[in-house]
Each structure stands twice: as C-alpha cells, then as structure tokens.
Amino acid sequence: MRKIPSLLLAIVVGASAPQAGHAAQRVAVGATFSRVFEQGGDGQWQGLGVDVLRTLAARAGDTIRFQLYPWPRAQAMVERAQADILVGPYKSPERLLRFAFLDQAFYRDRMVFYARRDTEPPWHGDLAALKSRRIAAVRGWHYGAQFEAARPQLDVSGVTQLENGLQMLALGRVDLLASNERNSTGLIDSLHLGESLTVLCPDIAQLDGYLAFPRDPKFSAVRERYNALFNEMVRSGELARLGARNGVLVPLGDSASRAPAACGEKHRAGP
C-alpha cells in the first residue's frame, strides 16, 4: 500500500477534526435550583437549565457535564475559568464584572419575603420600614437593586442554605426570610412548614436568570456560539415550550410566557 505523505495526512485529519471552540466537553456548574437545575435521587439531571444546555450543546457539537456545588463556589469556579458555564445567575453590576452573560435570560423569578403567620410584619414595599426587623438572606444570592442598596441599613443575617433560613424563621430566630418563590414553595411543603409560614406582598423584585461564561477571552468564541443558538431557541418558541414543560416562568422580551399569579395567591411550586 502506498504511504500517504505525513503533511498530506495531517491536512486530511485537520480538515475532518472539529473546529476550535466547538466539539468540546463543557462543564456546567450551579447549585440546586428547583425546576431549573437539579439532580434526582436516581442521579438523573432535570430542570429547565438542564434541558436548555443539553439542546445548546448538541447543536454546537459539544458534550456537556453537570456538577452541583454550593452557590458561592460554583460562581468562583466560573469566574476563575475552572468551569465553562454558570447555570442561573441573576445579573447585578458586580456580576457583570465577573461573568460573560448570554444576551437573553432563560427564566424569571419572584423575589419575596416570607414571615410566620402568627407574627406577620407589615410590608408595603418600603424596605426602610424594616430596619428594626431581623432578616435572613441566602449567602451569594442577589435580591435586586432596591434590596442591595438598602442592605447596609437593614439587619440582615446570611444563611448558607435556604433550608436553614426557613427553619430559623419557623423557630423565631429571624422575623423575615428573603428568597425566591420558585425555590421556596416546594421546600416549605417538604419541611411541613406551610401552616406556619406565609409569603408577603408585594414582591421585593422580579429577576431574570441567565447562563453565564467566564470573562476569560478564550471563552469568547463559545459564548458567542451558544448565544446565537440560544437566541434562535427564543425566537422559535422552543424556550417557551421547555419552560412550560418544567413549570418555570420564561421571559420573552419585556413580557413572559405567562404572567405571574396575583400577589398573595396560593402557588403550588412557584411562578
């Protein structure tokens, strides 16, 4: 058999190989977010973020691996380019300096206060009126511009897990818990706290969650690739269909796939 010259062989192999920035294994990290990013007891991954990323990776010719970490650690890993994609962060001025977000969000959350039913404090949207109240908030979470601006004047205690905050509230160690409704409602049910805790109105804020990449320039190409693919998912209505399948509110431009229920209305597991 005639030998193929080594230079020609290199050209043939190179032409058939995936282009740089495509066809790679992507590592997506995050914390457990109900119906957005979860791993079941059987080890199976589920949620809107999982469905979206599997679709994007397949269309980009990539494979994808999911990993769960405490939320601050997951953020640090992507910031340091130790992982490719952060699943679900809200935007904030500080995070815009740390991450390269996709242009459009893939879900929307209601940020709310929870209180005990027997000591429900007055809340009409004025954070200044809560200066004397003990508030728990999850470390590493962003609660919107209004809350973050008022935080230095408030008595806010950080908790490592949402479950810890709910239990502190139920035991009377804090007066209010700041959270998002999607994560909280199912957890409240599983902890059997539905009879003792209630959500307050109005919302603190409504915030959108994104996929974000490291700001390291070597991730620019893959971020642009996934951004274009995701924009097409939004335009085609595919994101809205995936949101409905997962029971997650999906932003579509300035509106959403369905309006949030009226404040104070009973929600089975979130918006």
> CA nearest 255: which of 108, 47, 102?
108
pLDDT, mean of residues 209-216: 98
Q: Are 116 and 172 in contact (CB under 8 A)?
A: yes
Q: Are 47 and 33 in contact (CB under 8 A)?
A: yes
pLDDT of the residue at 121: 85
pLDDT of the residue at 268: 34
pLDDT of the residue at 264: 53
pTM of the model as a whole: 0.81
pLDDT, mean of residues 136-159: 96
Would the pLDDT of 20 be above 50?
no
Q: How confident is the model at residue 122 (pLDDT cuts 50, 70, 90)?
A: confident
pLDDT of the residue at 258: 44
Residues in contact with 230: Cβ distance below 8 Å, sequence separation at least 6, in sequence order: 52, 56, 102, 103, 104, 106, 211, 239
Q: Are 139 and 158 in contact (CB under 8 A)?
A: yes
Q: Do domains 22-107+207-256 and 110-205 have the same CATH topology?
A: yes
CB atoms within 10 A of CB 191: 14
pLDDT of the residue at 252: 74
Would the pLDDT of 12 be above 80?
no
Q: How confident is the model at residue 259 (pLDDT cuts 50, 70, 90)?
A: very low
Q: What is the mean pLDDT of the chain?
A: 88
The pLDDT tens digits for 33-42 are 999 999 999 9
Q: Are 26 and 63 in contact (CB under 8 A)?
A: yes
Using CA of residue 93, residue 94, residue 100, residue 105, what is the dihedral sign? negative
The pLDDT tens digits for 235-254 are 999 999 999 999 999 997 54
Can you give the C-alpha Rg of the chain in angstroms?
21
pLDDT of the residue at 263: 60
**CATH 1.10.287.130 applies to domain 22-107+207-256:** no
User: For the chain, what are the domain ranges?
Assistant: 22-107+207-256, 110-205
Q: Write down the CATH number for the domain with range 110-205.
A: 3.40.190.10
Would the pLDDT of 261 be above 80?
no
Pairing of strands 99-101, 205-214: antiparallel
With helix as H, strand as E and coil as C, how does 168-222 read?
Answer: HHHCCCCCEEEEEHHHHHHHHHHCCCCCCEEECCCCCEEEEEEEEEECCHHHHHH
Q: Which of 26-30, 70-74, 117-121 has the lowest mean pLDDT?
A: 117-121
User: What are the residues facing 63 on neighbouring strands?
Assistant: 25
pLDDT, mean of residues 1-14: 43
